[in-house]
Amino acid sequence: MLLTVLGCSGSVPGPHAASSGYLVEADGFLLAVELGSGTLAAMQAIRDPFALDALLFSHLHADHCADFASLTVYRRYHPRPTRDPRANRLPVHAPAAAPRRFAGAYATDEAELAVTDLSDVFDFRPLRAGTFHIGPFEVTAATAAHPCEAYSFRIAHGGRSLVYTGDTGLCGPVTALADGADVVLAEASWTHGSGASTAMHLSGREAGELAAVAGAGRLLVTHIPPWTDRDAVRAEATAAFPGEVTLVREGAAYEL
């Protein structure tokens, strides 16, 4: 599997930094996980958006899905698509509210929303906890601790596994999901004990603890907001996890 980071700024885009978005690729199948602010621009710099085979969203906060409306425009109105978007509707695995939520982001007013239907170019498939397949990937979704319907994912292929926490506080389902993972891609939105709520995001220390308890081979840290000290997050994660710790970078690719 190859993981490419389209964006990794937490909560909001940062200076010259897109919000959450990742590409996971294997056997010629291209899966996008999240599509936050700025990620469609980043994608176009390296890949044809029509090359996407599926989309997967952990939850529907804007920093994880804001560019979906732009992707809709791209797929509907590009004059020379490399694939017919209506004959090849893009599968979208997302929380159940996604069709209405994305239609609302696309429509200009209530009258247009009443007649907006994105199913001409997208095939919406509601998420639930459990295991399913997206192309060559076996995906297991677990309920995350976040103030909306939200999931963490374990993506497996060829005997290797990537666990992506999405946005979550520490909780039993996510800890169980990460058990034995080769790579944990964990958010870390703040430093530990900073006074922020532990019910919705991880600190650097908690990201490290999650990977350590899981016995993971490698920890990739993401979703650090522009106002959070990256060096402090790295130090916390490194102190809690004995393996390799990497703070991911936009545009970087990681062999898993």
Asked if residue 71 lies in contact with residue 40, where contact means CB atoms within 8 angstroms, the answer is: yes
Average pLDDT over residues 226-241: 97
**Calpha distance 96→65 (Å, rounded):** 14
pLDDT at 196: 64
Question: In percent, how much of the chain has pLDDT > 70?
Answer: 98
Top-tier CATH class for 2-255: alpha beta
pLDDT tens digits, residue range 184-224? 999 999 899 776 666 799 999 999 999 999 999 999 999 99
pLDDT at 82: 86
Whether 234 shows a pLDDT value over 70: the answer reads yes
The torsion angles phi and psi of 158, rounded to 5 degrees, stand at 60, 35
**Calpha distance 211→200 (Å, rounded):** 18
pLDDT tens digits, residue range 46-95? 999 999 999 999 999 999 999 999 999 999 999 998 888 877 899 999 99
- Rg of the chain over Cα atoms, rounded to whole angstroms, equals 17
